[in-house]
Amino acid sequence: MGVITRTTGRLIQSDPINGTQQFWKAELNGKSVTIHFGQVGTPGHRGSREFPNIEAAERFLAQRVRQKLGEGYKPVLSDKRKF
């Protein structure tokens, strides 16, 4: 059986007050979740977390996506910008 790999695609949050945008994306690779985030136009930061099983990793990823959408992040339909 192969390793399950899934990505969220990029989410963007705009701050109209200071004119910046933040990006957030995540990748599920087996029992590991890697999150890449930061200010658009910068390399950003990466962090990974290993879970005891795939189900726990999927639950964590789904929870984080819901959290980011609740914070006002929006999916990017075309990912032409560098981040």
pLDDT score of 5: 82
Q: Where are the domains of the chain?
A: 5-74
- For the whole model, what pTM was predicted? 0.82
* Fold classified for 5-74: q64v53_bacfr protein fold (2.20.140)
C-beta atoms surrounding 34 within 10 Å: 14
- Cα three-residue angle 68-70-72, rounded to 5 degrees: 75
Ordered per-residue pLDDT tens for the chain, 83 residues: 566 688 888 999 998 888 899 999 999 999 999 999 999 999 999 999 999 999 999 999 999 999 999 999 999 876 554 44
Q: Assign 70 to helix, strand or coil.
A: helix
pLDDT score of 78: 66
